[in-house]
Structure 1
Amino acid sequence: MADPEKASDNGAWLDEHFPLHKAVFQNDISRINEILTTTCLPKINLDQMDTHGNTALHLAAMLGNIEAAKLLLEHGANVGLKNNDGWKSLHEAISYGDRKMIGLLLSSHKKQSHRSLTSKLPEIQNHLESLNDFYMEIRWEFQTWIPLLSRVMPSDTFKVYKRGSKLRVDFTLTDFNESIISWTRGDMSLLFDPGAPKSYQTLLLNNKDEVYQRVRDKNRHLNDEIDLLMGCDIISSHISTRPIRFVRAKGWFMNDKSYNIGEYKADLFNIKELCLITRKRREHLSQEDLRKNRELNKAFSSGKLPPDDGSSDDDDKNHHRASLSPPPKPEFAWAEYLRLPDGPDSHLGSRKKRRLQILKSKECWRCVRTFHSQPINCWTFLKF
């Protein structure tokens, strides 16, 4: 049994290192505002993680403290960070089930992602300019174990043109109707120019109708996106690259495999120990949600989508999902939370998470071809 005095000192030491977290945990809005705005206090790292990898924004989402979340986001808190269990603050907000909190974090996540991409445009432009101009074709297709169905599954060939820092991608698959085997074809092009004015960096062309549209991120369908998030599993996936190894592929007689692609000779490497780790939660779903999701999965497996009941056409707020009843507040104090080991017992949100988290790990078998005249290092491969 731990010494009470030592445990108390440990808790006090931790309190001094996470003042913002403590204020959010206690939902002390005036204290949060003081920490964020008072210049005489030491500068606070908004994205600092506590002993469980949670940022202050994670705690606000888990506890449903929306005013605290607003203050944190106004000062630039990062929505995309994951805690020790692999969950973002948006995931925790979905679990809690407050529509306003989900909408706030989802909208902020979009804005932050857009800013992050915009900040990388000069680097992307430099990398594209460093490559030789090229043309290539990428064919993709869906496959299934159901006999004969693969022949009518969607497929397309992307034609990619690169000149300088500009990219053009031509494709023909544009839309699908009520059935997964009924597809709409067209003549479309996606143009990307990182050096163009902001509103014209990405354009979508309809070559047949001779019209174009600018690709912009709007929150027009935010309520529909919230409904979708609240009605589906919470999923977090990442590819583990720490143990990754590149191994030369061997032929029948253990000779190194090489291919000629056009005028280039390419060496073939297998990527070993590349794992896809997926975490899934569904504590926020009702039995009706689970039933509908099972039916939808069966419909996709059979090659057809369920008929549209038309309920999604009306954007009236009365047709959107209601917020869930908030889970009980945690039964432990701030200092006790910090000293708890990682796991369900230290989770501040729904207690149902204890039995509804699913973890899957699957090794991905992939290969990569490299050209002697166009070498690529491991850092560049993993980054892009």
Structure 2
Amino acid sequence: KSLPDMIECHNINTYLFLIVNFCLVTALLRKLKQQSRESVEEKRPRLLKALKELGDFYLELHWDFQSWVPLLSRILPSDACKIHKQGINIRLDTTLIDFTDMKCQRGDLSFIFNGDAAPSESFVVLDNEQKVYQRIHHEESEMETEEEVDILMSSDIYSATLSTKSITFTRAQTGWLFREDKTERVGNFLADFYLVNGLVLESRKRREHLSEEDILRNKAIMESLSKGGNLMEQNFEPVRRQSLTPPSPNTITWEEYISAENGKAPHLGRELVCKESKKTFKATIAMSQEFPLGIESLLNVLEVIAPFKHFNKLREFVQMKLPPGFPVKLDIPVFPTITATVTFQEFRYDEFDESIFTIPDDYKEDPSRFPDL
């Protein structure tokens, strides 16, 4: 049928929900992953050149997640990340692979970027407990893609964006009677402290694609977490889901659809269930003139490990126009109720054994070890 005929057809909603909900979502997911791989490859020559020009170093940074919600902070994760950089190779050791919407993956993990390897083999994650590894940009099977679609279709669609349009920095003060600019040591580095003003986290959550069963299950998980349940004890295994009952047919005509105001076309299927919120955060940042690494160099390193969402938040933040120096300690909004404090504890130029940038001989490949990567 032509598009005008389809829009006027009474079974348009059934058609959309049976076809779009699976085929289109699957196609979009594959396309997004393809674009992500292509974007990485486009940036690859520039990143390799930048890494080659950097000295070899060891960098250690700590992540501490906090919340103003009672009891929530004590179940939030923390992590000490160790980064080794030599030539065009990078190794990141961590216990926190991802932290998204109150779900985290923990373990003894190492991420290795080998700039000399072929693009499809240059980035691997090692599970040092199970002694297996997975290539990050492997081509996924049909079953892996279908399982990821099932997870997406049974979870809230959530997006959070840092708005920095009106952001300003003012020097933090210390003292009661005689106020003076706050300067303290962070790790081994003397730093000037600033207040971050006008930092806003804009969040958007949609759930019209969820069944009542999905909503109740997700609510039960969150209630368990709020009572002190362990993040890793929750069962997030994908479950094959039946399609939702299609919404009632609509009577929108083709003429009504194409004449709608730009960006306000009428909904042809299920009405949106959307919650938007804005939260202004009070944050501090410590800038050090003594730190040996420049922000541009840090951005090049973060570009390599950007697939990990909390590191991507850090990269977004330090891309702003910051006060003079290097941000050795900063607060980053992650969710409306959660912030992360990132502290650069140690930095030194060093050389390392090349073996730390290779896959150990006794590790076996497991392409499905980390289904979200």
Instruction: Pick the TM interval, shorter chain.
Output: 0.5 to 0.7
Q: Secondary structure at the match of 2:59?
A: strand
The answer to whether the Cα contact below 8 Å between 2:91 and 2:113 also exists between their aligned partners in 1 is yes
**Aligned CA distance change for structure 1 residues 126 and 27 (closer, same or farther; 3 Å):** farther
The answer to whether the Cα contact below 8 Å between 1:156 and 1:172 also exists between their aligned partners in 2 is yes
2:369 aligned residue: none
1:364 aligned residue: 281
Q: 1:258, CA displacement in angstroms?
A: 2.5
RMSD: 4.4
* Identical-pair percentage: 27
2:85 aligned residue: 162
State how far apart, in whole Å, the 2-side matches of 1:269 and 1:366 are: 9
1:140 aligned residue: 63
The answer to whether the Cα contact below 8 Å between 1:94 and 1:229 also exists between their aligned partners in 2 is no
Offset from partner CA, 1:286-315 (integer Å, 9 cap, x none)? 2222222211211222233698889858xx
State how far apart, in whole Å, the 2-side matches of 1:379 and 1:290 are: 31
Q: Secondary structure at the match of 1:107?
A: helix
Matches within 5 A, 1:214-229: 214-220=135-141, 221-229=144-152
State how far apart, in whole Å, the 2-side matches of 1:146 and 1:123 are: 45
Q: Secondary structure at the match of 2:319?
A: helix
**Aligned CA distance change for structure 1 residues 322 and 337 (closer, same or farther; 3 Å):** same
TM-score w.r.t. the length of structure 1 is 0.59
The answer to whether the Cα contact below 8 Å between 2:89 and 2:115 also exists between their aligned partners in 1 is yes
Q: 1:337, CA displacement in angstroms?
A: 3.8
State how far apart, in whole Å, the 2-side matches of 1:156 and 1:379 are: 20
Larger radius of gyration: 1
Q: 1:216, CA displacement in angstroms?
A: 2.9
Q: 1:173, CA displacement in angstroms?
A: 6.1
Q: 1:101, CA displacement in angstroms?
A: 1.3
Offset from partner CA, 1:167-188 (integer Å, 9 cap, x none)? 211235689xxxx99x9754x4
Q: 1:210, CA displacement in angstroms?
A: 6.7
Matches within 5 A, 1:114-133: 114-133=37-56
Q: 1:266, CA displacement in angstroms?
A: 2.5
- The answer to whether residue 48 in structure 2 is matched with residue 111 in structure 1 is no
The answer to whether the Cα contact below 8 Å between 1:96 and 1:326 also exists between their aligned partners in 2 is no
2:169 aligned residue: 246
Matches within 5 A, 1:177-196: 186=108, 188-196=109-117
2:227 aligned residue: 302
1:275 aligned residue: 200
Q: Secondary structure at the match of 2:173?
A: coil
| Stretches of structure 2 lacking an aligned partner (at least 5 in a row) | 7-11, 297-314, 322-373
Q: 1:359, CA displacement in angstroms?
A: 0.9
Q: Secondary structure at the match of 1:243?
A: coil
Q: 1:232, CA displacement in angstroms?
A: 1.9
Q: Secondary structure at the match of 2:184?
A: strand
- The answer to whether residue 300 in structure 2 is matched with residue 381 in structure 1 is no
1:78 aligned residue: none
Query: Letter of the aligned partner of 2:111 in structure 1?
Result: L
Report how many residues are paired: 286
- The answer to whether residue 211 in structure 2 is matched with residue 286 in structure 1 is yes
State how far apart, in whole Å, the 2-side matches of 1:326 and 1:362 are: 33
Query: Letter of the aligned partner of 1:370 in structure 2?
Result: M
Q: 1:364, CA displacement in angstroms?
A: 2.9
Offset from partner CA, 1:301-349 (integer Å, 9 cap, x none)? 2233698889858xxxxx4433652664561435764442655xx3334
1:258 aligned residue: 183
| Stretches of structure 1 lacking an aligned partner (at least 5 in a row) | 1-22, 29-62, 67-92, 314-318
Query: Letter of the aligned partner of 2:63 in structure 1?
Result: W
Query: Letter of the aligned partner of 1:382 in structure 2?
Result: Q
Q: 1:158, CA displacement in angstroms?
A: 1.5
Q: Structure with the greater relative contact order (CA < 8 A, sep ≥ 6): 1 or 2?
A: 2
1:348 aligned residue: 267
The answer to whether the Cα contact below 8 Å between 2:71 and 2:228 also exists between their aligned partners in 1 is no
Offset from partner CA, 1:331-380 (integer Å, 9 cap, x none)? 1435764442655xx33343522xx2211111233333333255648999
* Larger fraction in helix: 1
* Larger fraction in strand: 2
Matches within 5 A, 1:309-324: 312=238, 319-322=240-243
State how far apart, in whole Å, the 1-side matches of 2:40 and 2:252 are: 41
State how far apart, in whole Å, the 1-side matches of 2:37 and 2:43 are: 10
Q: Secondary structure at the match of 1:216?
A: coil
